Amino acid sequence: MVRWEPNKEIRAWENLIDGKLLLETTNRTMSPEEVVHQYKELQEIERCFRTLKRALWIYVLCITGWTVASEPTSSSV
């Protein structure tokens, strides 16, 4: 027979943070607003790099005349 009891304290914490993103930083000089701003900028930079890599992949295909059955995965670019 298996027996368990829910941990009400942990459950309350999980319900409180459900659907929220927690950001952690070691920079104690930044305000919470600055941390969120930096995180959003990082997302924009990563999105630009993905777009650039996809454009470069297409350019390589055009130059070399390769044919590809499917788009590259994020691990192959």
* Tens-binned pLDDT, residue by residue, of the chain (77 aa): 888 888 999 999 888 888 888 888 999 999 999 999 988 888 888 888 888 877 777 666 666 665 555 555 555 55
Tally the domains of the chain: 1
pLDDT at 17: 85
Q: How far is CA 61 from CA 29, 56, 70, 73, in A?
A: 47, 9, 12, 15
Three-state DSSP at 13 gives: helix
Give the domain range for residue 58: 8-64
pLDDT at 49: 81
Residue 74 lies in a domain: no
Global pTM value: 0.42
Residue 43 lies in a domain: yes
CB count within 10 Å of CB 58 equals 13
Three-state DSSP at 76 gives: coil
